[in-house]
């Protein structure tokens, strides 16, 4: 909807992509009072996403973070939307599809004609140029990066990233929206991988090089960083949690976008992705998750 000045007031949100990030975004939006439509090209993933939200909210009730009444009210605000056209009347769309620029462009091509003119289109990309993505849409001035951290219900930060064409009203409306989610905002310039992943992913990539060169084992590297640098999770365990395909995609964006050899993806990371060992989501990565406890694979 719009206010008296014609500026949009966000009341409804469409989320594209029902994976871990997408269902987490839908989760926090619904808990914060927004009506949410959750879409995925695969209807089964929408159902799985809704089930994950239900379970995650139940855990929040169990830990006392929310009440059962709040959970029920939030779940009632979320609708699974198998058709992209279902998002036509929302005030804000957050695209959270796979980290692949061509896939994102194709989504925007299909989505933009369906949206009302005043709707804001945003992306949850963790590394791709906001300016470049915006230029493929019919509303670059109403396009912005809203980058959530994983897992969304737990992590307190959101990176807001303006493209070169993003209007002030789009930025301010998005800032107010993120404030209502109870998240802390860090504003980043539109450079490859923004701030968090520009620092985090080269560290993970370097840890993989340390493994690749035989300096330490998976277990030794993760223990060293947990106990020696006070990281809550070792870098290889974290890579498995993020998804090794996502880690590789971000390193490739950094390497190609900044043309600096220090961002070259480790060949061992490439090999794991080629093997389909992508981490937790495929049950094998730097650890094997198929048993009762994770076992290092190297």
Q: What is the CATH number of the domain that holds 263?
A: 1.10.1040.50
Query: Where a domain ends, among 188, 215, 235?
Result: 188
User: Of 32, 99, 127, 147, which one is the catalytic site residue?
Assistant: 147
User: Of 174, 197, 205, 249, which one is the catalytic site residue?
Assistant: 197
Can you spell out the DSSP letters for the chain?
A: -B-TTS-B---EEEEE--SHHHHHHHHHHHHTT-EEEEE-SSHHHHHHHHHHHHHHHHHHHHTTSS-HHHHHHHHHTEEE--SGGGGTT-SEEEE---S-HHHHHHHHHHHGGGS-TT-EEEE--SSS-HHHHHTTSS-GGGEEEEEE-SSTTT--EEEEEE-TT--HHHHHHHHHHHHHTTPEEEEE-SSTTTTHHHHHHHHHHHHHHHHHTTSS-HHHHHHHHHHHS--SS-HHHHHHHH-HHHHHHHHHHHHHHH--GGGPPPHHHHHHHHHT--BGGGTBSSEE-SSSS-EE--
Asked whether residue 32 is domain-assigned, the answer is yes
Same-domain check for residues 158 and 182:
yes
Check residue 8 and give its pLDDT: 78
Same-domain check for residues 291 and 208:
yes
The structural domain count of the chain equals: 2
**What angle do helix axes 235-242 and 196-212 make, rounded to 10 degrees?**
120
Same-domain check for residues 110 and 211:
no
Residue (of 171, 285, 189) closest to 238 by Cα position = 285
**Cα angle 184, 187, 192; round to 5:** 125
The answer, yes or no, to whether residue 4 has pLDDT greater than 90, is: no
Check residue 3 and give its pLDDT: 57
Residues with Cβ within 8 Å of residue 151, at least 6 apart in sequence: 20, 24
Where is average pLDDT lowest: 8-12, 167-171, 201-205, 229-233? 8-12
Residues with Cβ within 8 Å of residue 286, at least 6 apart in sequence: 211, 218, 236, 237, 239, 240, 244, 272, 279, 296, 297, 298
Same-domain check for residues 101 and 18:
yes
pTM confidence score: 0.91
Backbone phi, then psi, for 197, in 5-degree steps? -75, -20
Query: Where a domain ends, among 188, 216, 244?
Result: 188
Same-domain check for residues 220 and 133:
no
Q: What is the pLDDT of residues 48-104, one digit of tens each?
A: 999 999 999 999 999 999 999 999 999 999 999 999 999 999 999 999 999 999 999
Length in residues, the chain = 298
Asked whether residue 3 is domain-assigned, the answer is no
Asked whether residue 2 is domain-assigned, the answer is no
User: Of 39, 159, 205, 249, which one is the catalytic site residue?
Assistant: 159
Query: Where a domain ends, among 169, 188, 207?
Result: 188
Same-domain check for residues 228 and 169:
no
Q: Tell me the pairing of strands 157-162 and 143-148.
A: antiparallel
Residue (of 40, 17, 26, 28) closest to 96 by Cα position = 17
Residue 47 structural domain:
12-188
**159 labelled catalytic:** yes
Check residue 217 and give its pLDDT: 98
**147 labelled catalytic:** yes
Q: What is the pLDDT of residues 119-148, one digit of tens each?
A: 999 999 999 999 999 999 999 999 999 999
Label residue 56 left, alpha or beta by phi (over 0 means left) and psi (-120 to 50 means alpha).
alpha
Same-domain check for residues 62 and 23:
yes
Check residue 7 and give its pLDDT: 67
Same-domain check for residues 171 and 74:
yes
pLDDT, mean over the chain: 96
């Amino acid at each position: 909807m719009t206010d008296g000045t014609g500026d949009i007031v966000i009341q409804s949100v469409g989320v594209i992509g029902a994976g871990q990030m997408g269902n987490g975004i839908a989760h926090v939006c619904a808990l914060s009072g927004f009506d949410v439509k959750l879409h995925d090209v695969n209807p089964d993933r929408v159902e799985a996403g809704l089930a994950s939200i239900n379970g995650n909210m139940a855990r929040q009730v169990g830990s006392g973070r929310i009440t059962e009444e709040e959970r029920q009210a939030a779940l009632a605000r979320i609708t699974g939307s198998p058709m992209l056209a279902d998002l036509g009347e929302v005030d804000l769309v957050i695209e959270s599809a796979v980290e692949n620029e061509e896939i994102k462009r194709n989504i925007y091509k299909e989505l933009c004609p369906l949206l009302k003119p005043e709707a804001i289109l945003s992306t949850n990309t963790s590394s791709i140029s906001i300016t470049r993505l915006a230029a493929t849409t019919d509303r670059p001035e109403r396009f912005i990066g809203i980058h959530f951290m994983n897992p969304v219900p737990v992590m307190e930060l959101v990176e807001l990233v303006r493209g070169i064409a993003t209007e002030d009203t789009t930025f301010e409306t998005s800032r107010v929206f993120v404030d209502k989610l109870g998240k802390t905002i860090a504003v980043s310039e539109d450079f490859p991988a923004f701030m968090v992943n520009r620092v985090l992913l080269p560290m993970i990539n370097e840890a993989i090089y340390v493994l690749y060169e035989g300096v330490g084992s998976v277990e030794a590297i993760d223990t060293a960083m947990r106990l020696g640098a006070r990281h809550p999770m070792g870098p290889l365990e974290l890579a498995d949690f993020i998804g090794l395909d996502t880690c590789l995609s971000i390193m490739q964006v950094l390497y190609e976008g900044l043309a600096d050899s220090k961002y070259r993806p480790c060949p061992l990371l490439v090999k794991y992705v080629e093997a389909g060992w992508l981490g937790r989501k495929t049950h094998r990565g730097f650890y094997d998750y198929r048993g009762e406890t994770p076992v290092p694979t190297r």
